[in-house]
Structure 1
Amino acid sequence: MSRRVVFAPDSFKGTVDAADAAAALARGWRSASPGDDLVQRPMADGGEGTLDAFAASVPGAERVALTVAPPAPGSRAVGTSWLRLPDGTAVVELAATCGLGLVDPLQPLDAHTSGFGEAIAAALDAGATRLLLGLGGSASSDGGTGALAVLGARFLDGDGRPVLLGSRGLASVASVDLSGLRALPPGGVLILGDVTNPLLGPLGAAAVFGPQKGADPATVEVLEANLARLADAVAAALPAGSSDGAAPGASPGAALASAPGAGAAGGTGFGLLAWGASMGAGARLVAEAVGLADALAGADLVVTGEGRFDGQSEAGKAPTEVAALARAAGVPVALVAGSITADASAFSASASLTDLAGSGAAAMADPARWLEAAGAALACS
């Protein structure tokens, strides 16, 4: 009896994109069970691959090419694109403008988000009536100041001069002027976030994500101090009562810094919230765009996955959203990941590429091969 199986992985960051991961899993499954009905719905959560997911699933979507500023000193200008949807919405992905894969070697103190701001500005100049901004996979920890500066904000030192780009410049921020920021488009700005972390503290941008951007423990402390200084300066620039839902007595800046998702993309979530953007769940919105719920109707199994399944995976990542939709539809869920370091007992089956390949290095050297192996193993389980 044939089975209907849906493959809905996120990208395996730095090795294979979501579409190629879904295809490799399906090839492996078909090699072991050729009579099954296989459906591919590659996913994203606001990070790498978000633009591709919308482009593949929204009829009439159009890529608009542009070149943006290098994301760090010594890097090259980035050829990228934003996506125009038929209703006038523009999708802009931070990872495609200043992501981790665009900075080598990593520069946690000097990487910045200017290129992201240039892509946003280009979409607005082209008449975008609404913005969907994918956050995730950033190389920077500048609190979004590079992007906001392109959009008209000013971040000044004690002498009234613009500070340097990147986190390093935040150490000298004395004042912030948001009055020159471009107006939001008529339909607003929605952040497609992949995490719920606040800006500061042990669960904040520096502590949790700084090491992924190349920061050692001492540098993490510098990043944290610089983001705290930025938060104070932004708080002084915001009018009283500008933050909805703030605790009684809390300043607008404190409310924004503690908002879920403010720590996304090195604090870019915080910067965009200060602009007036709203926070959304990236994985849920991508799932809607790709029609995942409809694809699950009548399915016998859904296979999801990502590069590393860890403690952060439960905070808005694509596999968690896929699993929630599948369980609501009464469909079992299997997990494939490059490595699995968190409890995966909630899944009906799981496969680690590291275990199949014998090491993480071997898995990363040929991810398509081991994704195929994972698909075949799950088909036989």
Structure 2
Amino acid sequence: MEMKVVIAPDSFKGSMTAIEAASAIEEGVKRAHPGIKTVSMPMADGGEGTMTCLVQTTGGHYEEVSVNGPLGNTVNATFGCLGHSSTCVIEMAEASGIALVDKSNLNPMEASTYGTGQLIKEALDQGYRHFILAIGGSATNDGGTGMLHALGMTFYDSTGSEITPAGKKLIDIKEIDVSDFDPRIQESTFLIASDVQNPLLGPTGATHVFGPQKGATPVMVKELEKGMENWADRVYEQTGIHLHDHPGAGAGAAGGIGGAFLAFFPAKMERGIDVVIEATQFKASLESAILVLTGEGQVDYQTASGKTPMGVAQAAKEKRVPTIVFAGSVGEGIESLYEFGVKSVHSIVDGPMTLDEAIGRASELLTKRAEQVMRTFLVSVVDGIEKVY
């Protein structure tokens, strides 16, 4: 009897991409029993790496475009095209990401999402009308105004002068002109993948939580928050949509771009892992599977808020397939995962070692742990391989 195992990890940040983690797990499974059929489905939850996961899992391809980086310099960014549909995947971090700016130059007062808008425009020019947006990991805090400006929207101050969008300019916006906003946007669909539900404003909003990570001083945070509030007021006047405390409008480290999508695009926001599961047709891969192996770098109480291992386990539970989770580090509160279909959680660290050593040996350690888990899972061979749950 053929036994099938689905391998669906997220990245182990700082050590392995999702694809590398899946390969390491697969090697461990094969060491335990070479006859096991493995299906590799690298996952992501809407953050960085989502585009790569979707493109590679579906056999798609990339398009490269020269766009404006967060501080206006030219950068080469890519967007992905899924292999089994006419859907385009745009990862905000490609054009507006914090990794594109040297730490000493981070400045959310000046940074703009203009390049993300350029990516969307290029995809529209190429004929794409279905979009998945992975938002997060940005160097920006401009509420998405730069992105909107690249797509034809114009902003004016109280004197009627046109504003070039940036974080520091949000406070000056008095009027929003949508007359030249790209009409193709309303002919399209936009699915926003996000793993967090931060509101736009307040102590858990985009500015207060993530502004300091982008170089904002306490004084800057206050100024940016006032600007974001003014922007939300102007959006409400224009559209009737109240973004101020709308879940997901802040979208975590996306600097408020989630609110721009919700207000001006035919967009809906979903949990990032759910978007990835649907786009990769993950549930179909579970047919006849007897086990799912997933994991990520840190597994703790936050994992149950919609991270990859939880979403994968939920999908597998629907098909009555058990899930085992691997983690670089296991924290408090993992018990909450068991109700979602997780059977056990295993740290890949097999003894005392430094963080640098654990990161350097991550692939080796994951392979060894996967082999051990599979050897435990396989209990006997009688007329082939028997399965146990």
Q: What TM-score do you get using the length of structure 1 for normalisation?
A: 0.83
Kindly indicate whether the alpha-carbon contact (under 8 Å) linking 2:67 and 2:115 is maintained by their aligned counterparts in 1.
yes
Structure 1 runs not aligned, ≥5 long: 241-251
2:293 maps to 1:303 = yes
CA, structure 1 residues 102+53, in 2 after alignment: closer, same or farther (shift >3 Å)? same
What residue is the counterpart of 1:288 in the other structure?
278
| 2:67 is aligned with 1:68 | yes
**Deviation string, structure 1 residues 112-152 (Cα, Å, up to 9, x no partner):** 31111100000111222222222233232221111111011
Residue equivalent to 2:358: 363
Tell me the equivalent position of 2:367.
372
Segment of structure 1 superposing worse, 150-159 or 318-327: 150-159
Q: What SS does the aligned partner of 2:65 have?
A: strand
* 3-state SS of 1:335 partner: strand
**SS of equivalent residue, structure 1 residue 339:** strand
Question: Structure 1's 114 and 342: CA in aligned 2 closer, same or farther, altered over 3 A?
Answer: farther
Counterparts of 1:366 and 1:161 in 2: how far apart (Å)? 57
Deviation of 1:327 (Å): 1.6
Q: CA shift at 1:153, angstroms?
A: 1.6
CA contact (8 A) 1:170 1:230 kept: yes
Pick one of 332, 338, 341 that aligns with 2:322: 332
Report if aligned partners of 1:349, 1:378 keep a CA contact under 8 Å in 2.
no
Larger Rg computed on CA atoms:
2
Q: Where do 5+ consecutive residues of structure 2 fail to align?
A: 377-389
Q: Are the equivalent residues in 1 in contact too, given 2:58–2:82 (CA < 8 A)?
A: no
- Say yes or no: does 1:36 pair with 2:36: yes
Letter of the aligned partner of 1:53 in structure 2? Answer: C
Contact 1:181 1:275 in 2 (8 A): no
- Does residue 260 (structure 1) correspond to residue 255 (structure 2)? The answer is no
Aligned mates of 1:309, 1:212 — CA distance in 2: 22
1:14-29 → structure 2 map (5 Å cutoff): 14-29=14-29
Question: What per-residue deviation string (whole Å, max 9, x for no partner) do you get for residues 49-106 of structure 1?
Answer: 22223323435x4422211112236x65133234266654322221222223322214
- Letter of the 2:269 partner, please give it: G
2:143 maps to: 143
Q: Distance in 2 between matches of 1:271 and 1:237?
A: 12
CA–CA separation in structure 2 for the residues paired with 1:91 and 1:124: 12
2:235 paired residue number: 234
What amino acid maps onto 2:146 in structure 1? G
1:316-340 residue CA offsets vs partner (Å, 9 max, x unmatched): 4322211110121222222233434
8 Å CA contact 2:116–2:147 kept in 1: the answer is: yes
Q: After superposition, give the CA deviation of every residue in 1:18-63 in whole Å (9 maximum; x if it has no partner).
A: 212211222233334444332211112232222223323435x442
Counterpart for residue 192 of structure 2: 191
Confirm or deny: 8 A CA contact 1:163 1:170 kept in the other structure. Answer: no
Distance 1:200 1:364, change over 3 A: farther
Q: Tell me if 1:343 matches 2:355.
A: no
Tell me how far apart the structure 2 counterparts of residues 17 and 57 of structure 1 sit (CA, whole Å).
13
Q: Which amino acid aligns with 1:276?
A: F
CA distance in 2, matches of 1:315, 1:127: 36
C-alpha contact (below 8 Å) 1:68/1:97 kept by paired residues = yes
Distance, in Å, in 1 between the alignment partners of 2:13 and 2:165 is 26
Give the paired residue count: 365
Secondary structure of 1:77's counterpart equals: strand
Contact 2:133 2:193 in 1 (8 A): yes
- Are the equivalent residues in 1 in contact too, given 2:155–2:164 (CA < 8 A)? no
Q: Does the CA contact (< 8 Å) of 1:54 and 1:286 recur in 2? A: yes
Does the aligned pair in 2 maintain the 1:293–1:325 contact within 8 Å? yes
CA 1:16–1:213: 2 relative to 1, 3 Å: farther
TM-score w.r.t. the length of structure 2 is 0.81
